[in-house]
Amino acid sequence: MRFFKSLYNSLYNFEWLRNQKKNTSWAWGYFFLLVFLVSGLSVISFGFKYWDEVPKIKQFINNELPDFAAQVNDGKMQITGLTEPYIKKYNNFLVIVDTRATGTISVKSFLQREDESAILIAQEKLEFYDSRSKEVKSEAMKKYSNFKTDRSQILKNSEYIFNKKMFGVFMSVFFLTLMIFLSVSNLVYILLFSSIFYFITKRTSSPWQFKEILNVGLFTITLPLILTQTLPGGLLNWLLMLIFGIWMYLIILKKDIAK
């Protein structure tokens, strides 16, 4: 109950937030509980969407995957069952297989538009082109000397990857990763703004201590943290940092300046 009361007041109650400056232990406890809650809700929301898409993904793989066999021998890829060059386009992503070309080939030679990314499987190399970075990454086939697969093996692997057990493992790892990321990234914001406002308070002879400003910041991050998970976007992140800064100003400086 204490957590939800703090959550409610952290959204708008500047006087309540100002009064939390001495509440160090609860400030840290609240922050990590907030991160836990936001991470959990985000993972649950993603999990439901992902699980609904699983049957579609499996059906897509079953329909699109050709009947082929592939093996790397002596650093060279050998493929049977495909008419090469095999080119398949999925939105702005190209999959190219050409292991029988006699000359030097490049993944970029198959691109028709600048916004296309592509992967090329050639006889002696694997190339990937990223349209965003405009970079080509290449790996020699000799690195995959023991590689061997076919359609049945890939379908078997997809059944294993998309079962409930693996789904649970994936969601657990995703939850822990998201918790760590949100904790670290938001603590960086809080420490940065706390340092800025502490510097300002020293210039204005305000009695605020750094620890008190940090305590307030651990509560004030509530609204920006929630919004970043519900309305993701690059420009939005800058807007939410601005909101956090304004909230900190209204809590720490406005009252002191008014005096």
Q: What is the pLDDT of residues 101-126, one digit of tens each?
A: 877 888 888 888 888 899 999 888 88
Tell me the pTM: 0.73
Q: Do the domain assignments include residue 71? A: no
CA nearest to 195, candidates 183, 209, 180, 207: 209
Assess whether 140 and 171 both reside in one domain.
Answer: no
Cα–Cα distance for residue pair 165/163, rounded to 1 Å: 6
Q: Which amino acid is at 79?
A: I
Q: Do the domain assignments include residue 131? A: yes
Can you give the residue range of the structural domain that contains 97? 76-144
Total of domains in the chain: 2
Q: Report the DSSP beta bridge partners of residue 62.
A: none
The tokens for 241 are 């940092």
Cα–Cα distance for residue pair 34/24, rounded to 1 Å: 15
User: What DSSP string runs through 27-83?
Assistant: HHHHHHHHHHHHHHHHHHHHHHHHHHHHHHHHHHHHHH--S-EEEEETTEEEEES--
Residue that terminates a domain, selected from 97, 114, 144: 144
Q: Do the domain assignments include residue 61? A: no
Cβ count within 10 A of residue 216: 28
User: What DSSP string runs through 200-252?
Assistant: HHHHTT----HHHHHHHHHHHTHHHHHHHHHS--HHHHHHHHHHHHHHHHHHH
Q: Report the DSSP beta bridge partners of residue 125.
A: 140
Q: Do the domain assignments include residue 151? A: no
pLDDT of the chain, 259 residues: tens digit per residue: 889 999 999 998 999 999 998 999 999 999 999 999 999 999 998 888 888 888 888 888 888 888 889 998 888 888 888 888 888 888 889 898 988 887 788 888 888 888 889 999 988 888 998 888 888 888 888 888 778 898 999 889 888 888 888 888 999 999 999 999 999 999 998 999 899 989 988 888 778 899 999 999 999 999 888 888 776 555 566 777 788 888 888 888 776 444 3
Assess whether 184 and 242 both reside in one domain.
Answer: yes
Cα–Cα distance for residue pair 257/79, rounded to 1 Å: 74
Q: Do the domain assignments include residue 26? A: yes
Assess whether 247 and 187 both reside in one domain.
Answer: yes
Q: Do the domain assignments include residue 202? A: yes
| Cα angle value 181/186/189 (rounded, 5°) | 135
